[in-house]
């Protein structure tokens, strides 16, 4: 509920406003009066006033001078003015000073009630925003102090195939990290794809909000369920649900995802989609992980959705826990493959297969080499920003049955896979840069109403993937680039035209004048008014 102060040098006007409106019905419970600027300041210092209804023209100090004082000493208070037709310029000045609204005399009580009701709604929005800020600061403090957990490192290693998927290796890692799982535990991964933040946040703010989203996912997905919520090395968040009697299935799982999406939208100004994978043994988790990444990247038609991997025809092979060769330096292979060092990599391949040929080769060892190489190709492709299917083709990715029949067939498959990947990377090295330039041009041409969904549609990319690609290629978030483009255009209009500042903000998509001023000052360091005063006539 809110407190209202009515200020007018005519006592009967004040009493009429206080007594002829049902204030409680619109949320006002505290009523105060003043008959000049001096007594108004006394009331404001003595009482928590939320809204002022004030005449502009009064003897001595006028209402505009009171507003200047309020802006400095009581910035959370909203001011509504009365003004006469002959002094309409006063109203314009009031709005420039941040007044909430103005009414032309003679004023009906119904008009006053309607404007004050709108002011109450705005104050409620500000209260909601403050509540959000308190939650934000809570998560910010956790984010600043939280140390990486060992189980998160383990899960990343499993997703990105940095741990050999043998029972022995898994048992050693699980024991070392003290995890509540076994090598036989089955896990269902869910990719949480952040598609858009509806507000303009700084890079640090977005990172804190992403951390808040992670903690919120822990609270919602892991109630009475075992699992973990992690980020992979690319910053994408995954829920990992361990299979047990409490693990949700089908409709129940979709309902949890929908509830999480609603909560993320309401509390964290975020639009996202959930991509639900199939259960897989912990040692075979990387396969489903890569399939979810491919699924997200190829989804350009829907947003804010719950999508099941099984609905797109993904079939996970019944992969056993096998003993992988330990004499292959997979980290070195990955570096050479990513760098396009074909000669050096093929030397390693030849040496490895020569060693394998001298050993007793089993189908299990061939299968292990096949999967580790497959995951290396997926991992590097995703790091570079491409779909693995796009890089090497569906035929090579799905060639397990043929590739693992013999050592010779596996060697041929390895050589073809690595060659196809490196040739694709070499030929398409400039594709991302071309897309980035296309995105930047689109933003400049649609500066007023530009948004991430429209940009993604323009370049035929998934919106969440688009943001990651833009940041990877430019080192700057897409939202930061959009804000900077708008502010740079505002600078030009401020110095090279005489358009009203509010009109300039509106032309750049900022319908709220005070919000435009806030964003401008945060970016430039001074207000639009100060910038125009300082640079108009100099820049040209």
Contacts of 216 (CB under 8 A, 6+ apart): 260, 263, 264, 267, 268
Task: Of 163, 147, 146, give the one whose Cα is nearest residue 155.
Answer: 163
- At 274 the pLDDT is 94
Q: Write the pLDDT tens digit of every residue in 351-365.
A: 888 888 887 777 777
Q: How far apart are CA 516 and CA 82, in angstroms?
A: 26
Q: How confident is the model at residue 200 (pLDDT cuts 50, 70, 90)?
A: low
- At 247 the pLDDT is 58
Burial class (CB in 10 A: 0-12, 13-18, 19+), 88: exposed
Q: How far apart are CA 453 and CA 299, in angstroms?
A: 12
Mean pLDDT value across residues 251-260: 91
Residue 375, both tokens: 């995951």
Mean pLDDT value across residues 318-337: 66
Mean pLDDT value across residues 407-432: 88
Q: How confident is the model at residue 148 (pLDDT cuts 50, 70, 90)?
A: very low
**Comparing 128-132, 136-140, 377-381, 490-494, which segment has the lowest mean pLDDT?**
136-140
Q: Write the pLDDT tens digit of every residue in 17-31.
A: 899 899 999 989 999
Mean pLDDT value across residues 336-361: 87
Contact 374, 397 (CB under 8 A): yes
Q: How far apart are CA 519 and CA 487, in angstroms?
A: 8
Burial class (CB in 10 A: 0-12, 13-18, 19+), 383: middle
- Using the predicted structure, report yes or no on whether residue 320 has a pLDDT greater than 50: no
pLDDT > 90 fraction of the chain, expressed in percent and rounded:
24
User: Which is more confident, 250 or 414?
Assistant: 414
- At 157 the pLDDT is 76
2-7 and 28-34 beta bridge pairing: parallel
Q: How far apart are CA 458 and CA 438, in angstroms?
A: 9
Contact 465, 432 (CB under 8 A): no
Tell how far CA 68 is from the center of its chain. Answer: 37
CA distances to 145, 286, 388, 427, 498 from 158, rounded to whole Å, are 26, 6, 19, 31, 60
Mean pLDDT value across residues 275-285: 85
Q: How far apart are CA 4 and CA 20, in angstroms?
A: 14
- Using the predicted structure, report yes or no on whether residue 510 has a pLDDT greater than 60: yes
Q: How confident is the model at residue 528 (pLDDT cuts 50, 70, 90)?
A: very high
Residue 266, both tokens: 């309401």
Bridge partners of 242? 187
- At 514 the pLDDT is 85
227-231 and 270-276 beta bridge pairing: unpaired
């Amino acid at each position: 509920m809110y407190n209202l102060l009515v200020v007018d040098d005519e006592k009967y006007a004040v009493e009429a406003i206080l007594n002829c409106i049902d204030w409680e019905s619109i949320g006002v419970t505290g009523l105060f009066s003043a008959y000049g600027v001096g007594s108004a300041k006394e009331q404001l210092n003595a009482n928590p006033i939320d809204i002022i209804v004030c005449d502009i023209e009064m003897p001595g100090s006028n209402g505009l001078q009171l507003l200047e004082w309020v802006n400095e000493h009581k910035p959370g208070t909203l001011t509504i003015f009365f003004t006469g037709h002959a002094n309409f310029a006063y109203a314009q000045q009031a709005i420039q000073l941040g007044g909430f609204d103005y009414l032309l005399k003679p004023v009906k009580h119904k008009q006053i009630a309607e404007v004050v009701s709108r002011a109450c709604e705005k104050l409620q929005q500000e209260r909601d925003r403050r509540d959000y800020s308190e939650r934000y600061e809570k998560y910010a403090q956790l984010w600043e102090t939280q140390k990486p957990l060992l189980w998160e490192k383990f899960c990343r290693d499993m997703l990105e195939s940095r741990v050999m998927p043998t029972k022995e290796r898994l048992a050693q890692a699980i024991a070392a990290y003290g995890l509540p799982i076994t090598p036989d535990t089955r896990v269902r991964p869910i990719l949480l794809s952040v598609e858009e933040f509806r507000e303009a946040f700084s890079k640090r703010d977005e990172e804190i909000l992403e951390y808040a989203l992670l903690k919120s996912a822990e609270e919602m997905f892991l109630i009475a369920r075992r699992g973990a919520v992690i980020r992979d090395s690319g910053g994408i968040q995954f829920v990992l649900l361990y299979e047990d009697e409490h693990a949700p299935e089908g409709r129940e799982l979709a309902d949890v995802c929908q509830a999480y999406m609603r909560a993320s939208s309401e509390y964290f100004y975020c639009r996202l989609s959930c991509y639900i994978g199939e259960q897989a043994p912990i040692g075979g988790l990387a396969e489903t992980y890569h399939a979810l990444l491919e699924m997200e990247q190829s989804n350009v038609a829907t947003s804010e959705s719950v999508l099941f991997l099984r609905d797109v025809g993904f079939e996970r092979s019944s992969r056993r826990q096998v003993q992988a060769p330990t004499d292959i330096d997979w980290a070195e292979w990955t570096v050479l493959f990513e760098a396009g060092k074909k000669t050096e990599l093929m030397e390693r391949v030849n040496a490895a297969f020569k060693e394998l040929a001298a050993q007793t080769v089993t189908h299990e060892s061939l299968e292990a080499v096949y999967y580790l190489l497959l995951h290396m190709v997926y991992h590097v492709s995703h790091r570079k920003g491409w779909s693995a299917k796009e890089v090497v083709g569906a035929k090579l990715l799905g060639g397990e049955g043929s590739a693992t029949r013999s050592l010779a067939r596996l060697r041929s498959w390895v050589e073809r896979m690595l060659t196809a990947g490196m040739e694709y990377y070499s030929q398409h090295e400039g594709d991302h840069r071309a897309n980035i330039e296309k995105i930047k041009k689109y933003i400049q041409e649609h500066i007023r109403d530009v948004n991430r969904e429209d940009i993604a549609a323009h370049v035929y990319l998934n919106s969440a993937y688009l943001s990651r690609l833009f940041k990877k290629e430019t080192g700057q978030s897409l939202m930061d680039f959009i804000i900077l483009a708008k502010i740079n255009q505002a600078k030009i209009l401020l110095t090279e035209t005489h358009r009203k500042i509010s009109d300039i903000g509106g032309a750049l998509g900022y319908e709220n004048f005070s919000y435009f001023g806030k964003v401008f000052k945060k970016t430039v360091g001074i207000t639009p008014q100060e910038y125009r005063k300082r640079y108009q006539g100099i820049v040209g």
